[in-house]
Amino acid sequence: MSSSTNQHLLFDHLIELRSRLLKAVLSVLVFFCSMIYFANDIYAYVSLPLLAVMPESGQMIATGVASSFFAPFKLTIVLAIFISMPYILFQIWSFIAPGLYRNEKKLMGPLMLGSSFLFYGGISFAYYVVFPIVFAFFTSVAPEGVNIATDISSYLDFVLKLFFAFGIVFEIPIVIILLCWTGFTTPKSLREKRPYVAVGSFVIAMLLTPPDIISQTLLAIPMLLLFEFGVFISSIYYTKSDDEHAEEENNE
Between 46 and 145, the more confident residue is: 46
Quick one: which of 81, 195, 216, 78 has its CA closest to 137?
216
Given 117, 148, 179, the domain boundary residue is 148
Same domain, 8 and 105: yes
Question: What total number of domains does the chain contain?
Answer: 2
Q: What is the pLDDT of residue 8?
A: 64
pLDDT value at 102 more than 50: yes
3 within a domain of the structure (yes/no): yes
Task: Please list the residues that pair with 59 across neighbouring strands.
Answer: 149
Sequential DSSP letters for 101-162: -HHHHHHHHHHHHHHHHHHHHHHHHIIIIIHHHHHHHHHHTSPTTPPPEEEHHHHHHHHHHH
Q: Are residues 52 and 83 in the same domain?
A: yes
pLDDT at 6: 62
Give the pLDDT confidence score for residue 247 in this predicted structure.
Answer: 44
**Structure confidence at residue 217 (pLDDT):** 84
Q: Do both 22 and 124 map to the same domain?
A: yes
Q: Region 138-157: what's the mean pLDDT?
A: 81
Q: Give CA 156 to chain center in angstroms.
A: 17
Shared-domain flag, residues 176 and 213: yes
Mean pLDDT of the residues in the chain = 81
What does the pLDDT read at residue 248? 43
pLDDT band at 74 (very low <50, low <70, confident <90, very high): very high
Q: How far is CA 58 from CA 53, 61, 68, 147, 150, in A?
A: 9, 10, 18, 6, 8
Please give the residue range of the domain that contains residue 210. Answer: 171-252
